């Protein structure tokens, strides 16, 4: 279980997530071999799940997704589910 977020924005048709993905911290907590976070790049934004394993790492990753969305749109919508 964790906290799920949808980061909605007007994603450009030619959006290439490769630069963003290279910036992300490792999603694996090595000592426990547990997934810290997970994500998906969708047509209307990003889907992000914080698995509550390492909040520091998950918050860095979430911030990178939010910052990326804001570079492509003057406003975004973050929905927690």
Which tens digits make up the pLDDT trace of 12-55? Answer: 999 999 999 999 999 999 998 999 999 999 999 999 999 999 99
pLDDT of residue 81: 86
Segments making up each domain of the chain, as ranges: 3-80
pLDDT of residue 25: 98
Q: Residues for the chain: how many in total?
A: 81
pLDDT of residue 18: 96
pLDDT of residue 66: 98
Per the CB < 8 A criterion, the answer to whether 78 and 36 are in contact is no
Evaluated on CA atoms 7, 12, 13, 15, the torsion sign reads negative
Question: 């889907």: which residue's tokens?
Answer: 47
1 — pLDDT class (breaks 50, 70, 90)? confident
pTM of the shown model: 0.94
């Amino acid at each position: 279980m964790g906290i799920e977020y949808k980061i909605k924005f007007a994603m450009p048709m030619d959006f290439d997530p490769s630069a963003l993905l290279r910036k992300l911290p490792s999603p694996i907590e090595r000592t426990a071999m547990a997934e810290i976070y997970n994500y998906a790049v969708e047509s209307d934004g990003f889907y992000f799940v914080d698995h509550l394993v390492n909040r520091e790492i998950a918050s860095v990753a979430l911030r990178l997704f939010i910052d990326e969305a804001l570079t492509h749109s003057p406003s975004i919508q973050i929905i927690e589910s």
